Structure 1
Amino acid sequence: MFYKRLIVLLLLVGIISYCVIYFTVDINTLRNLIDFQPWSVAAAFFSVLIGLFLDGFRLIQLVRLSGEKITPMQAARVVFGNYFLALLTPGFSGGAVAQLMFLRYAEVPMGKAAIIVVVRTLISILFLFVCMPFILLSDDGVLPWVSNKLLMWFSLLAIAGTIALIWAMVSGSFDKVAVFIAKRISHKKGRKLMGFYHDNKKAILLLSSSPAAMFKVFIISGLSLIALYAVVPFLLMGLGAKVNWIMVMGRMVFLNLFLYFSPTPGGSGIAEGGFILLFNTIAPQGTVGVVAVGWRLFAEYIPFLVGFYYTIKVFGRGFLGKKTLNKGK
């Protein structure tokens, strides 16, 4: 089952990359690629390394806040394992399973490991949401057919709704709502819903237990994401484009926030299509597809291969069997 899924993913990535380049590259692009600046490739690679380092560093801080400890090598396995399984599953859902597996391997108790995984995701999404109003104030062309005013209201409502939900969960006033919903659906779905609710509530309680430490983790998360997104402006500069860093980084934030809710494995297809939609007016003519594939290569596929190596090394070839997945879930 694992090898079938891996082969399907590789074929999907190959076909999407080919189509993206084929339909967006022209003869001028091919000539420009000969002059592609090597320093921009090195800068993009270095930027990804910084982003991954900061991602591992924030994980170590979160584990420490939970009262446990992990080594930098164990943190690296969690980070790269997340990339590996996230690309194999719809909506990046497998990334959470990979993180749990590697945290358990590092002898972090299952309950704490689950909370840490949820907190990592919540903090990243929260950072992107917080950035959205500032992006919409500085960029009028994020989505040409949707007004920035409407997007701004949506962003503000999402932030306000998130804050209200966090307050309701911390105060306990949302508990009855969760129980009410769980009782009106099937027993199996109700148990899953309550498990999901309790994991998120514990994560939010951890977030509120040490505000100063969590603010530090929030800043580290933001710097990690910025470093990973900086791959795109470096690649654009390598093709001779004049880059508006604020606009480019803003659109990367918008795209990656959307990808958190992507139904395809690792956002394949949607990531490339969304990138072309957002950057076709910024990238030099005929180069947007090359930059899209380059971004995915540096920011997703290379970490995916490293995660594949760590996962096979630690858990063996049978790690993705049905029993393993069931335990992870």
Structure 2
Amino acid sequence: MFYKRLIVLLLLVGVISYCVIYFTVDINTLKTLIDFQPWSIAAAFFSVAIGLFLDGLRLTQLIKISGEKITPLQAARVVFGNYFLALLTPGFSGGAVAQLMFLRHADIPIGKATVIVIVRTLVSIAFLFVCMPFILLSDDGVLPWISNETLLFVSILAIGAVALLVWAMVSGYFDKVAIFIAKKISHKKGRKLIGFYRDNKKAILLLASSPAGLLKVFIISGLSLIALYSVVPFLLLGLGVDINWALVMGRMIFLNIFLYFSPTPGGSGIAEGGFVLLFNTIAPVGTVGVVAVAWRLFAEYIPFLVGFYYTLKSFGRSFLGKSSLKKTS
């Protein structure tokens, strides 16, 4: 199961990377690549390292709020393990499984581990959505065929709906609604719905129990994502492209919101295609494909390899064929 997925992923990444570069590269790109600034590569590595460090710091803060403890090495395994299984599964769903495995390996109770994993995802998505109105007010060309007014209305509506849902869950008003819906569907689906609702409510209550801790986690999450996305402007600058830093970061945030709901393994194809679509007016046509592939290499594939190493070291080769991988399907 694992090796089939790995082979499919490698083939998919290889084909997509080749196509993206083939259809966007030109003769001037080859000349530009010769003049590529080494400092930008170093800056990209440093940016990813800072982003991953802050991701680990966020994890330790969440575990501290839950009343548990974790060592820096254990936190690193959780972070990199997330990248490992996330890239093998649609919508990064395997990342949650990997985080649970490594948290249990660190002796975190399964109930708290589940809540912590949900909180990590919710806080990241919340930061991206909070940024959306500011991005749409300052960038007129995100999606040319949809007006920014429409996108702004949808984003504010989504933020308002989520805020209302969180309030309803914390206050208990939504409990009866969840039970009512569960009774109207099959018993099996109803149990899954109630379990999903219960886990998410526990995650929200955990954050609500420590407002100061919540603010700290939110800020660290934002800084982590900004550091990871900064790979792109560093790479563009290294190719001699004159960029608007805020514009580039805004479009990276916009792109990554959609990647959370990608149906392909690790967002492969959608990430590269979306990048070319959003950045073809910012970067020269001949360089946008190269930067798209390089971004994925720095921000996803290198952490994936580290996560692969930690998984083998922690669980052994026998893990790769176990049913836990099948459950991520």
Give the TM-score of the pair, scaled to structure 2.
Answer: 0.98
- Indicate the residue corresponding to 1:87 in structure 2: 87
Q: Give the paired residue count.
A: 329
Is the 2:56–2:79 Cα contact (8 Å) retained in structure 1? Answer: yes
1:155-170 equivalences in 2 (<5 Å):
155-170=155-170
Letter in 2 for 1:232: V
- Indicate the residue corresponding to 1:179 in structure 2: 179
CA offsets, 1:274-317, max 9 Å, x none?
00000001112311000000000000000000000000110111
Q: Where do 5+ consecutive residues of structure 2 fail to align? A: none
- Indicate the residue corresponding to 1:34 in structure 2: 34
How far apart, CA to CA, are the structure 2 residues paired with 1:318 and 1:254? 39
Is the 2:104–2:113 Cα contact (8 Å) retained in structure 1? Answer: yes
RMSD: 1.2
- Indicate the residue corresponding to 2:267 in structure 1: 267
Does 1:213 pair with 2:213?
yes
Is the 1:127–1:218 Cα contact (8 Å) retained in structure 2? Answer: yes
How far apart, CA to CA, are the structure 2 residues paired with 1:267 and 1:293? 13
Q: Once the 2 structures are TM-superposed, how far is the Cα of residue 189 of structure 1 from its aligned partner?
A: 1.3
Letter in 1 for 2:161: G
- Indicate the residue corresponding to 1:66 in structure 2: 66
- Indicate the residue corresponding to 2:252 in structure 1: 252
How far apart, CA to CA, are the structure 2 residues paired with 1:323 and 1:268? 24
How far apart, CA to CA, are the structure 2 residues paired with 1:17 and 1:85? 20
1:216-227 equivalences in 2 (<5 Å):
216-227=216-227
How far apart, CA to CA, are the structure 1 residues paired with 2:281 and 2:328? 43
Q: Once the 2 structures are TM-superposed, how far is the Cα of residue 328 of structure 1 from its aligned partner?
A: 8.6
Q: Once the 2 structures are TM-superposed, how far is the Cα of residue 94 of structure 1 from its aligned partner?
A: 0.2
Q: Once the 2 structures are TM-superposed, how far is the Cα of residue 185 of structure 1 from its aligned partner?
A: 1.5
Is the 1:103–1:113 Cα contact (8 Å) retained in structure 2? Answer: yes
Is the 1:82–1:307 Cα contact (8 Å) retained in structure 2? Answer: yes
How far apart, CA to CA, are the structure 2 residues paired with 1:324 and 1:256? 27
Change (3 A) 1:201 1:83: same
- Indicate the residue corresponding to 1:301 in structure 2: 301
- Indicate the residue corresponding to 1:25 in structure 2: 25
Is the 1:55–1:79 Cα contact (8 Å) retained in structure 2? Answer: yes
- Indicate the residue corresponding to 1:191 in structure 2: 191
Q: Once the 2 structures are TM-superposed, how far is the Cα of residue 325 of structure 1 from its aligned partner?
A: 4.3
Give the TM-score of the pair, scaled to structure 1.
Answer: 0.98
- Indicate the residue corresponding to 1:138 in structure 2: 138
Change (3 A) 1:33 1:147: same
Letter in 1 for 2:61: Q
Q: Where do 5+ consecutive residues of structure 1 fail to align? A: none
Q: Once the 2 structures are TM-superposed, how far is the Cα of residue 326 of structure 1 from its aligned partner?
A: 7.1
Q: Once the 2 structures are TM-superposed, how far is the Cα of residue 207 of structure 1 from its aligned partner?
A: 1.0
CA offsets, 1:135-179, max 9 Å, x none?
011100000000000000001001000100000100111111111
Q: Once the 2 structures are TM-superposed, how far is the Cα of residue 327 of structure 1 from its aligned partner?
A: 8.1
How far apart, CA to CA, are the structure 2 residues paired with 1:324 and 1:21? 35
- Indicate the residue corresponding to 2:291 in structure 1: 291
DSSP 3-state at the match of 2:319: coil
How far apart, CA to CA, are the structure 1 residues paired with 2:328 and 2:66? 20
- Indicate the residue corresponding to 1:310 in structure 2: 310
Q: Once the 2 structures are TM-superposed, how far is the Cα of residue 318 of structure 1 from its aligned partner?
A: 2.2
Does 1:238 pair with 2:226?
no
How far apart, CA to CA, are the structure 2 residues paired with 1:121 and 1:290? 29
Give aligned-pair identity as a percent. Answer: 81
Letter in 1 for 2:228: L
How far apart, CA to CA, are the structure 2 residues paired with 1:212 and 1:101? 28
Q: Once the 2 structures are TM-superposed, how far is the Cα of residue 324 of structure 1 from its aligned partner?
A: 3.1
Is the 1:48–1:299 Cα contact (8 Å) retained in structure 2? Answer: yes
